[in-house]
């Protein structure tokens, strides 16, 4: 390992705290396992290990904090297991609730910003093209690489935290330009323009790309511009959930991929996938385990909903109340903005229940009588049954709103051609 004098000093304990040495040891040993010969300075971290999965993670983070570990770069926190704005919303047993809070508090003590969101790219400050970061949370990683052009690998729990404390990450994988070359190509030229502009299409396309690409870097060509970030968010989350995607070049949108040739670095793709309507419909149908009948709830916001998406729900509802619960999961910074402009109160009057700091698929919020959950999120649809027992039905945002008002599945299939 080619370590700098400063890195060697922290590693040996000659400088810094015991907690800083612990973090540097984790980063250096991880780099060795990954085959990296050096570390790379990072400008930010997004910390994924804030969800309570057992006491060991809590005790580890508390030990780091007690030993003087503090993040040395700006670090945002991912969703946790509690909604600190509404304490009784999460129904975890008392001992688990206490440990979940201790885990959140340990991250705060180490200097992490208490953002509690899976969409840190919605924050005012975010990395730019070419900047090295260490982000956890699969959708955030995919968005950072694909949309922002920043460079990060898919960092798992506690390695992302160690990187933020050390201010360094192992220099391997997508930190290196040569590993960002697309190997697969997805061609959308055979699809109609109205479908390519539909919000739900991006979620379905992401699910298709993730399933085919796995962990390979690919390039998608044929997306018309302009594209909204909420659409790209849906794509990245789906690709990162159904596969292990960390980077997909979207020709003309990804900063380092002005065209397909640039994404391929002048090489021929190993495989070109012509994306047909049949492939898209099949990918859409794979996201549903129920097809018709009553709906027990609607879940929106995986990744966390934006202010624009919340206002879109208000517009689509057109003043008609929901007959089943509609859960909107979002970051506290977005929620505060909705309270300020009156959107929050208007949505709550229709029957929306806001979930802040967490989401309904990762902690105990939904009634423990699994039924049918409708969603416009491919990520929710992919994880819902395994995590909650609810049977997912995927649809457009309009489908979700109309279903919540009718109490049963309502879907418009015309948009799919």
Residues 163, 147: one domain?
Answer: yes
CA–CA separation, 225 vs 204, rounded Å?
18
Residue 6 burial (CB count, 10 A): 13
Residues 209, 329: one domain?
Answer: no
From the list 66, 89, 85, the residue with the least C-alpha distance to 331 is: 85
From the list 219, 284, 212, the residue with the least C-alpha distance to 257 is: 219
pLDDT of residue 152: 98
Q: In this structure, what are the phi and psi dihedrals at residue 196, rounded to the nearest 5 degrees?
A: -65, -20
Report yes or no: 140 and 119 within 8 Å, Cβ to Cβ: yes
Residues 348, 211: one domain?
Answer: no
Residue 369 in any domain: the answer is yes
Residue 163 in any domain: the answer is yes
The enclosing domain of 377 has a CATH number of: 3.30.499.10
- Tokens describing residue 177: 């330009």
Question: Strands 184-187 and 168-170, how do they pair?
Answer: unpaired
Which domain does 391 fall in, by range? Answer: 297-412
Q: In this structure, what are the phi and psi dihedrals at residue 154, rounded to the nearest 5 degrees?
A: -80, 95
Question: Strands 271-274 and 184-187, how do they pair?
Answer: parallel
Residue 241 in any domain: the answer is yes
pLDDT of residue 200: 98
Omega before residue 235 within 30° of 0, cis? no
Domain boundary (144, 178, 212) is at: 178
User: Which pLDDT tens digits describe the chain residue by residue (417 residues)?
Assistant: 999 999 999 999 999 999 999 999 999 999 999 999 999 999 999 999 999 999 999 999 999 999 999 999 999 999 999 999 999 999 999 999 999 999 999 999 999 999 999 999 999 999 999 999 999 999 999 999 999 999 999 999 999 999 999 999 999 999 999 999 999 999 999 999 999 999 999 999 999 999 999 999 999 999 999 999 999 999 999 999 999 999 999 999 999 999 999 999 999 999 999 999 999 999 999 999 998 999 999 999 999 999 999 999 999 999 999 999 999 999 999 999 999 999 999 999 999 999 999 999 999 999 999 999 999 999 999 999 999 999 999 999 999 999 999 999 999 989 897
Residues 174, 146: one domain?
Answer: yes
The upper half-sphere exposure of residue 245, i.e. CA atoms within 13 Å in the direction of its Cβ, equals 34
Residues 317, 379: one domain?
Answer: yes
Domain boundary (149, 178, 207) is at: 178
Residue 344 in any domain: the answer is yes
Residue 417 in any domain: the answer is no
Total tally of structural domains belonging to the chain: 3
Domain boundary (231, 252, 285) is at: 285
Express the helix, strand and coil content of the chain in percent, nearest 5 each.
45, 15, 45
Residues 361, 240: one domain?
Answer: no
Residue 154 in any domain: the answer is yes
Residues 30, 151: one domain?
Answer: yes
The enclosing domain of 9 has a CATH number of: 3.30.499
Residue 340 in any domain: the answer is yes
Residues 72, 144: one domain?
Answer: yes
From the list 397, 203, 411, the residue with the least C-alpha distance to 293 is: 411
SS3 label, residue 307: helix
CA–CA separation, 174 vs 180, rounded Å?
6
Residue 290 in any domain: the answer is no
Q: Which residues contact 197 (CB under 8 A, 6 or more apart)?
A: 224
Residues 23, 149: one domain?
Answer: yes
SS3 label, residue 333: helix
Residues 170, 190: one domain?
Answer: no
Residues 107, 157: one domain?
Answer: yes
Residues 58, 188: one domain?
Answer: no
Dihedral sign from CA coordinates of 164, 167, 168, 174: positive
CA 33 to chain centre: 26
Q: How far is CA 100 from CA 51, 55, 75, 84, in A?
A: 7, 9, 19, 11
């Amino acid at each position: 390992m080619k370590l700098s004098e400063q890195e060697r000093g922290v590693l040996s304990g000659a400088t810094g705290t015991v907690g800083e040495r612990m973090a540097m040891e984790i980063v250096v040993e991880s780099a060795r396992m990954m085959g990296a010969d050096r570390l790379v300075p990072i400008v930010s971290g997004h910390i994924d290990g804030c969800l309570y999965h057992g006491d060991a993670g809590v005790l580890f983070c508390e030990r780091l904090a007690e030993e003087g570990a503090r993040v040395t770069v700006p670090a945002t926190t991912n969703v946790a297991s509690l909604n600190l704005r509404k304490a009784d919303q999460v129904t975890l047993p008392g001992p688990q609730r206490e440990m979940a809070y201790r885990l959140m508090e340990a991250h705060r003590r180490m200097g992490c910003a208490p953002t509690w969101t899976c969409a840190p790219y919605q924050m005012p400050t975010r990395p730019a093209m070419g900047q090295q970061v260490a982000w956890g949370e699969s959708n955030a990683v995919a968005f950072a690489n694909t949309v922002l052009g920043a460079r990060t690998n898919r960092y798992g729990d506690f390695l992302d935290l160690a990187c933020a404390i050390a201010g360094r990450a192992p220099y391997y994988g997508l930190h290196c330009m040569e590993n960002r070359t697309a190997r697969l190509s997805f061609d959308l030229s055979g699809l109609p323009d109205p479908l390519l502009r539909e919000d739900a299409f991006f979620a379905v396309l992401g699910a298709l790309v993730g399933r085919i690409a796995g962990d390979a870097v690919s390039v998608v060509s044929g997306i018309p511009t302009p594209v909204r970030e909420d659409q790209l968010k849906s794509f990245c989350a789906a690709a990162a959930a159904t596969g292990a995607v960390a980077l997909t070049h979207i020709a003309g949108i990804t900063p380092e991929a002005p065209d397909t040739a640039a994404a391929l670095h002048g090489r021929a793709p190993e495989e070109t996938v012509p994306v047909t309507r049949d492939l898209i419909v099949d990918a859409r149908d794979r996201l549903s385990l129920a097809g018709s009948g009553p709906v027990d709830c609607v879940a929106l916001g995986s990744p966390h909903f934006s202010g624009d998406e919340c206002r879109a729900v208000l517009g689509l509802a057109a003043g008609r109340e929901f007959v089943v619960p509609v859960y909107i999961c979002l970051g506290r910074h977005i929620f505060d903005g909705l309270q300020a402009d009156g959107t929050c109160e208007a949505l709550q009057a229709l029957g929306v229940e806001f979930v802040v700091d967490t989401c309904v698929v990762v902690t105990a919020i939904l009634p423990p009588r699994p039924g049918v959950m409708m969603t416009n999120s491919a990520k929710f649809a992919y994880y819902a049954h395994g995590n909650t027992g609810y049977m997912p039905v995927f649809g457009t945002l309009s489908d979700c709103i109309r279903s919540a008002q009718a109490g049963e599945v309502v879907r418009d299939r015309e948009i799919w051609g």
